[in-house]
Structure 1
Amino acid sequence: MTADKAPVPYRRITVLGAGAWGTALAAVAATAGREVTLWGRDKAVLDSIARARSNPAYLPGITLPEGIATTPDLAHALQGAEAVLLVTPAATVRALCRQIAPHLPANIPLALCAKGIEAGSGLLLGEVVREELPNHPVGALSGPSFAVETARGLPTAATIAFPFRPADRQDPATAPAVRLALSLSSEMFRPYISDDLIGVEVGGAVKNVIAIACGMMIGAGFAENTRAVLITRGLEEMSALALALGGRRETLSGLSGVGDLTLTCGSTNSRNLSLGIQLGKGIAREECFEGRPVVVEGEGTARSLHDLTQRIGMTMPISEAVYRILHEGAPVAETFAGLWTRPLRGEPAQLDLSLEHPLDAAAVAAFARKVT
């Protein structure tokens, strides 16, 4: 797909959320030459960004580019905005949409930069935003992108996904995904364009749960073979869920799928992996991160993903194992032994085979010996 005419970048971008990722994306937009307004709730953080071009609370030691205006006032932040990036935790997305509704003219595109699934309803965040703000194009920005590296200006790529309307397919230059990609592009930040919002959202949410699983196995004393299995089969779970919800499998082979999954499962800079490692070592949840109240996205997503799979009648064994350990107190060794002794199946799934595992009881005992 090529544009018949050059797309026009959004001139003024509002970023809602002044944490690490919101600040990093504000820096990306400012570097790309946009007029940027960053909204947040913590006045001290906003004052530091405006006065010293730094956010020591979330991105210590990083000097931000010039041109980032800050405000704690939502109405002021949204005044004149041509595109909005929502970068607040998944649990706050619905409430924030209700807050911004009176201040946002129709048809302004909103890109979700948080990753998760709404608790209770099991809805993807894009579905939540569409319920609350039905007169706006809704998309997502996702990919393998630690905030600190992005803010430092290290080479980073991400996927920007919005469903393409008929008019967008006739003239891609008008598509929000195309215009936003152009708006954020710079020497070191490279966006890719997708029309599969479901696939991109699924990848961004589920990879955090798989990363916790990888961490649990590392903390319990297992090694790289085990992590590779969880990444590979976790990718299959992500792909199957995307397909079940109306997305495309091939989306999960891109940056927002395998790219983000590999990063999150492979670095202790990931809070999800780090939490899993600590839990796998037998550290109580309240004592993880030295007792600091660190928000770990995959922890809440594990519960929300359970709600979603229950609603649609789907089985995701690795994700369900993480849910049971985190939220039902299931033992690590026994739970993961259950994964290894599931019926033997074909790969790819089209090879329709299912054989009972011959050594399920022995595997439970073997896992228990290694973990303890």
Structure 2
Amino acid sequence: MSEHRTTPVPDGPDLTAVENTVAPADDTVRVERAAAETAGPSRGASLMAGAFGRNLGLVLALLVICAVGVVTAGDRFASIDNMVTILRLASIVGVVSIGMTFVITGGGIDLSVGAMVALASVWATTYATQSMANDTHWIVMVLAALAVGGACGLINGVLIAYGNVVPFIMTLATLAAARGLAEIISERRTQIVPSPALEDTSGIQGFKDFWTADVLGIPLLVVIFALVSVGGWFLFNRTTFGRRTLAVGGNPEAARLAGIDVKRHTVLLYVLVGLCCGLAALMYIARTSTGSSTHGTLLELDVIAAVVIGGTLLTGGRGTIVGTVIGVLIFSTLSNVFVLNNQDSSTQAVAKGLIIVVAVLLQQRLARRSTTT
């Protein structure tokens, strides 16, 4: 009989010993640390780092400025009439700032908004326009101002999008050209509404009655600012147009590959801010009863400052209508505090400059944090 030989099986690992082995302390620490990093920031931290946290910071800054106003000016600042004055002064800058928020979020910039306001106000108050409005309806003046603003925005948009002109250079050229054209048309004179040359002004008187009216005790200019803000927020946050604006500003090439007509959308953004300038020109006319080539001087600086303070990135891709509105109120309230305390315009300019620098530095810091997380 043949022998069956069995080959000895080498001893395997002791499973019981393996199961009872405790991981070293260093490994445990590494695992816990990796788990904590994977979990990410808490919900509260994420909320404060987002739009809510930024807007909360702006509200606190506004409250601090109001507190300074109460301490330094007392009842002169805290009165209802003064609050209405602040809102009335903020309305014109605010309307243009809403349009500028879309442009900057879309990766552009418009330095010509002040000049467009001046040109629209002059065109809408020429003798020919007022005569036509007096013979038909004062809405002719409204249409003239909006048409001029929209046309200027269209020129900017077409040359930037299809002519590949840098937005800074294109709008700088429009700034000079529009202001110069306003001076030529008006012959550097202030045009009164209604024009003294008109024999009968009954038809155009409705313009002044409408634009200077109050709605439940609130000036119409403030109501217009509120309506434009609400409309801008809805367009920005609840429509395809707003989402496309964010996409175009964030990465134009990716937006193009996603099927967005980037050039056409860019044109629409500049037309939008042009229409806002036309509306602001009408508000200037309502406030001063004049059309002038000096209207809107340095308006672009106040508008861009309010948008940047509000949290819209100058590089595009991120914007906020709520932040822009609060930014406008911050600058308007700050200017009011300076006026009540008899501070000159030079001091106001220095303060605004410092605020803009601080806002840009904070934006850069937040941008670095977002790219590293």
TM-score (norm 2): 0.29
- Larger % of strand: which? 1
- Larger % of helix: which? 2
Q: Pick the structure with greater CA Rg.
A: 2
TM-score (norm 1): 0.29
Q: Which has the higher contact order (CA 8 A, sep 6+)?
A: 2
